[in-house]
């Protein structure tokens, strides 16, 4: 991604989300934090040995202060005891970057839960497939259970729903993640990956299935919020669309001349560049035809928020950015970051400016705009004027400041990607350790070979954890 593009879009979206109050505020339990912070990647509770020790009845081995210290900074424990790893036969615990408050919640969960010991491979995923269009369970539909170690698919099981639409997969490993895949009328549905929480032996699902329609009478655009940010050579535009399917069928649109279906559609100026959907849609499932971008994926009942970003190159003088309304919209709000009086908007109603994050924004709005209506954003580029020449020192300082910020941001992004790859490699080694342990239990490998291989695998995990801590 281009640096200029990343910075402008990042600022635009932060301001939009701040304006719309969409950043969530929530409180999590210790059990939820145990899952979110990858504790379950290495530890079970009452379900047997995994990469790390089973944490069942941990209060009989450690007190709360010791466990809390492990979670916050295991390296302190290793330094105090001069033992790394602390428990022979296990890799050392990595740094997790957990806050003191969250570490306390996880510790309290480990000491106060009432989880009982459970048999190995006793997990159950069950549920019902409901046709939301009829309200009844769907009989005879294929249900695929996909099993993963890390991101690697390890197994896929098939069941067929009964007369009530029910399905049940049992004898599942506690240490895998799972997803459910369904195929129906040429469309494919798949859930997000699921793992068993430490205090839950089964996962109960209600999976919706919908009939399809190419009638768009139940598709509504509740709002379109846009923010326009003007730089010397480009205008960056970020848009939020709030769509709603008020029907009870998946809207699949009508096929065009290329036989690709067109569902949601978005107008972009013909000279728009660096176009990207950053939320709500898959960039691989869109097509662009001059000034219109089409989505080809199905739109199920409910609401969908889409975030679209792009840039418009500026020329010296007046630049006209034509915007056509392709779908009836209840509310359109346009915010413009314009400190130098470069922007004007026709057709829409101008509102009082608003201050966000100590910066003033001009505002324009329109209500109940019909498909086919139009408005124009006029940007007057005075980049060669005396006014801009006087501002050169300020601009240079701002560019230097933003460059340092962006380089730091990109570096952190690269580090995150590196950590992700290391974690994937770590998961693969964990799987190998599990397989090796099973072969040893079955006497498929002799003891000396087993110990040698497990020692090498354990050291590999130690090296990976060191690299993760360094990043």
CATH fold group of domain 123-209: Immunoglobulin-like (2.60.40)
In this structure, is the dihedral angle defined by the CA atoms of residues 79, 84, 87 and 90, taken in order, positive or negative?
Answer: positive
- Check if the beta carbon of residue 368 is closer than 8 Å to that of residue 402: no
Backbone dihedral angles phi then psi of residue 146, each to the nearest 5 degrees:
-100, 130
Give the separation between CA 220 and CA 454, rounded to whole angstroms.
58
The pLDDT-based confidence of 10 (bands split at 50, 70, 90) is: very low
CB neighbour list of residue 414: distance below 8 Å, 6 or more residues apart: none
Give every strand in the sheet of 292-295, ordered side by side. 265-267, 292-295, 286-289
Domain ranges of the chain: 26-112, 123-209, 219-382, 404-470
The pLDDT-based confidence of 21 (bands split at 50, 70, 90) is: very low
The pLDDT-based confidence of 354 (bands split at 50, 70, 90) is: confident
Q: Classify strands 265-267 and 292-295 as parallel, antiparallel or unpaired.
A: antiparallel
Question: In this model, does residue 4 exceed pLDDT 50?
Answer: no
Angle between helices 392-441 and 447-470 (to 10 degrees): 170
Q: Encoding tokens for residue 343?
A: 């922007």
Tell me the average pLDDT across 326-354.
87
Give the separation between CA 357 and CA 17, rounded to whole angstroms.
12
Domains 26-112 and 219-382 belong to one CATH topology:
no
Name the pTM for this structure: 0.52
Question: Residue 245: what pLDDT?
Answer: 92
243-267 pLDDT tens trace: 999 988 888 888 877 778 889 999 9
168-217 pLDDT tens trace: 999 998 878 889 988 877 677 778 788 888 878 889 999 888 888 889 99
Element (H, E) at 25: none
Give the separation between CA 314 and CA 231, rounded to whole angstroms.
9
Q: Classify strands 292-295 and 349-356 as parallel, antiparallel or unpaired.
A: unpaired
Q: What is the CATH number of domain 26-112?
A: 1.10.760.10
Give the separation between CA 447 and CA 459, rounded to whole angstroms.
18
| Distances, alpha carbon 354 to alpha carbons 89, 337, 458, in Å | 61, 10, 58
373-415 pLDDT tens trace: 999 999 888 765 444 445 556 667 676 767 666 666 666 666 6
* Cα Rg of the chain (Å, integer): 28
262-311 pLDDT tens trace: 899 999 999 999 999 988 888 888 888 889 999 888 888 889 899 999 99
- Check if the beta carbon of residue 310 is closer than 8 Å to that of residue 273: yes
Q: Encoding tokens for residue 283?
A: 């960039």
Q: Encoding tokens for residue 22?
A: 């969409």
> How many residues are given for the chain?
471
CATH fold group of domain 219-382: Immunoglobulin-like (2.60.40)
Give the separation between CA 131 and CA 154, rounded to whole angstroms.
30
| Mean pLDDT score of the chain | 81
């Amino acid at each position: 991604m281009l640096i200029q593009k990343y910075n402008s879009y990042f600022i635009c979206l932060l301001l939009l989300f701040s304006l719309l109050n969409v950043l969530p505020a929530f409180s999590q339990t210790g059990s939820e934090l145990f899952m979110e912070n990858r504790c379950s990647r290495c530890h079970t509770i009452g379900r047997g040995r995994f990469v790390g020790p089973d944490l069942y009845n941990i209060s009989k081995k450690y007190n709360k202060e010791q466990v809390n210290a492990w979670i916050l900074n295991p390296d302190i424990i290793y330094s105090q005891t001069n033992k790394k790893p602390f428990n022979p036969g296990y890799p050392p615990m990595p740094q997790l970057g957990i806050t003191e408050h969250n570490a306390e919640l996880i510790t309290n969960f480990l000491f106060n839960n009432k989880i009982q010991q459970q048999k190995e491979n006793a997990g159950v995923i069950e549920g019902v497939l409901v046709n939301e269009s009829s309200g009844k369970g769907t009989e005879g539909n294929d249900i695929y259970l996909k099993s993963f170690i890390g991101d690697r698919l390890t197994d896929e099981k098939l069941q067929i729903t009964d007369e009530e639409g029910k399905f049940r997969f049992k004898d599942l490993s506690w240490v895998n993640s799972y997803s459910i895949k369904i195929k129906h009328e040429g469309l494919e549905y798949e859930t997000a990956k699921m793992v068993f929480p430490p205090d839950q032996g089964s996962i109960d699902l209600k999976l919706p299935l919908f009939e399809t329609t190419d009638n768009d009478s139940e598709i509504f655009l509740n709002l379109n919020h846009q923010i326009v940010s003007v730089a010397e050579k480009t205008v960056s535009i970020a848009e939020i669309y709030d769509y709603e399917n008020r029907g009870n069928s998946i809207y699949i649109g009508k096929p065009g001349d290329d036989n690709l279906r067109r569902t949601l559609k978005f107008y972009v100026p013909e000279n728009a560049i660096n176009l990207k959907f950053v939320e709500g849609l898959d960039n691989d499932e869109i097509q662009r035809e001059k000034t219109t971008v089409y989505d080809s994926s199905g739109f199920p009942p409910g609401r969908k928020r889409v975030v679209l970003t792009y840039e418009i190159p500026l020329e010296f003088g007046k630049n006209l950015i034509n915007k056509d309304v392709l779908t009836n919209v209840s509310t359109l709000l346009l915010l413009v970051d314009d400190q130098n009086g470069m922007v004007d908007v026709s057709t829409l109603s101008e509102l009082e400016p608003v201050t966000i994050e100590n910066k003033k924004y001009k505002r324009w709005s329109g209500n109940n705009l019909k498909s086919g209506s139009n408005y124009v954003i006029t940007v007057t580029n005075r980049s060669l004027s005396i006014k801009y020449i006087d501002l050169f020192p300020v601009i240079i300082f701002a560019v230097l400041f933003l460059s340092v910020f962006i380089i730091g941001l990109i570096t952190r992004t690269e580090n995150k990607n590196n950590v992700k790859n290391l974690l994937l490699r770590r998961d693969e080694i964990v799987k190998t350790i599990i397989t090796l342990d099973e072969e040893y239990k079955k006497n498929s490998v002799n003891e000396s070979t087993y110990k040698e291989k497990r020692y090498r695998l354990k050291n590999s995990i130690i090296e990976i954890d060191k690299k993760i801590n360094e990043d």
